Amino acid sequence: MPQNNSRRDMIKKVATMAVASTIIPSLANRVSAHENVMEEKLKGKINHSVCQWCYNDISLDELCQAAKQIGITSIDLVNPKDFDVLKKHGLTCAMVASNGPEWGITRGFNNPEYHEKLEAYFKEYIDATAKAGFKNLICFSGNRNGLSDQKGIENCTKGLKRIIGYAEKKNVTLVMELLNSKVNHPDYQCDHTAWGVALCKSLGSENFKLLYDIYHMQIMEGDVIRNIQDHHQYIAHYHTGGVPGRNEIDETQELYYPAIMKAIYETGFTGYVAQEFIPKHTDKLASLKNAVHICDIG
């Protein structure tokens, strides 16, 4: 392959084109700059979202305005109390947040002690998700705490069966996130694609699927494209992130996102890919725009 078609040069070219096309205004001028701007026209093969928590220093209202300018049509991991902000801007929430005060990543469905509370909690969130017209609600396995992989699957199956029928009636999909237990979430149980797929098969419902976080799974097992191709029928949603560091998905990291997006598209996927990297550059929204353009395959 000629030198100018190398992996690194191709990513640099995409990023450079993105920066040159439309520069996102500074925080001080953002609101006025977005008031009358038209949405950018993207290529349409990938549905783009962005995780709210990566931009906590920007109000949700401002993030919605910036997202629309970039061509993003969803904000991920928004709680029901903020759905009205998304609706105001004509945006959806491709993955609804569900962290509660008594449970979350470390305490989830693999612990029967939480099942009763999780049933009540998730029925409330399923109702809110359905009422808003959204489809996907995130959930977590919890930490192992000494559980074998098989016992974790059995416990999660029992807990999820308490609510999966309710989710089916409401046309809501419960989506368990695959996270790495090596760097960010020590002892988390749903940390390999094979484990998540085994849980999907055990539960046997089209309303339970996986959130394939590309950043997390590159750290845990690599072979990202093959795993996507082999298990795409169990995946409802994707998150991005640069490896190492979870920063920008540009030439500074080891993953080549245009090829990953092409693989996702070729599976027939019609859901959303959400940017979930932590910007290290001063202009965070310019970084977001670059990432969307890198993933916006032709």
Please provide the DSSP assignment of 82-136 as one string: GHHHHHHTT-B-SSB---BTTBSSSS-TT-GGGHHHHHHHHHHHHHHHHHHT--E
Q: How far apart are CA 70 and CA 73, in angstroms?
A: 9
Q: What are phi and psi of 189, to 5 degrees?
A: -85, -40
What's the mean per-residue pLDDT of the chain? 90
Q: Tokens for 55?
A: 């931009």
Q: Tokens for 179?
A: 């996270």
Rounded to 5°, angle at Cα 239 from 218 and 123: 125
Q: Tokens for 185?
A: 């979430």
Longest dimension (CA), the chain: 60
CATH 3.20.20.70 fits 72-295, yes or no: no
Is residue 213 predicted with pLDDT exceeding 50?
A: yes
Q: How far apart are CA 26 and CA 107, in angstroms?
A: 39
Q: How far is CA 219 from CA 109, 126, 183, 238, 244, in A?
A: 24, 31, 8, 15, 8
Domain ranges (residues) in the chain: 72-295
CB 181 within 8 A of CB 220: yes
Task: Tell me: cis bond preceding 186? Omega within 30 of 0 counts.
Answer: no
* Torsion angle defined by CA atoms of residues 230, 232, 238 and 240, in that order, rounded to the nearest 10 degrees: 20
25-71 pLDDT, tens digit each:
444 344 334 444 445 689 999 999 999 999 999 999 999 999 999 99
**Residues near 232 by beta carbon (within 8 Å), at least 6 away in sequence:** 264, 267, 268, 269
Q: How far apart are CA 185 and CA 216, in angstroms?
A: 10
pLDDT at 246: 97
Is residue 20 predicted with pLDDT exceeding 60?
A: no
pLDDT at 294: 98
* DSSP-based three-state secondary structure for 91: coil
pLDDT at 18: 47
Task: Tell me: cis bond preceding 244? Omega within 30 of 0 counts.
Answer: yes
Q: How far apart are CA 12 and CA 290, in angstroms?
A: 10
pLDDT at 219: 98
Angle between helix 284-295 and 257-266 (nearest 10):
50
pLDDT band at 222 (very low <50, low <70, confident <90, very high): very high
pLDDT at 142: 97
Q: Which secondary-structure segment (H or E) carries 158? A: helix 149-170
**Residues near 270 by beta carbon (within 8 Å), at least 6 away in sequence:** 47
The residue that leads in pLDDT, 6 or 126, is: 126
pLDDT at 100: 74
Q: Tokens for 111?
A: 């612990």
176-191 pLDDT, tens digit each:
999 999 999 999 999 9
pLDDT at 9: 53
Antiparallel, parallel or unpaired: β 74-76 and 272-275:
unpaired
β partners of residue 76: 51
Angle between helix 149-170 and 193-203 (nearest 10):
50
Global pTM reads 0.88
Is residue 11 predicted with pLDDT exceeding 50?
A: no
Nearest CA to 238 out of 266, 207, 206, 214 is that of 214
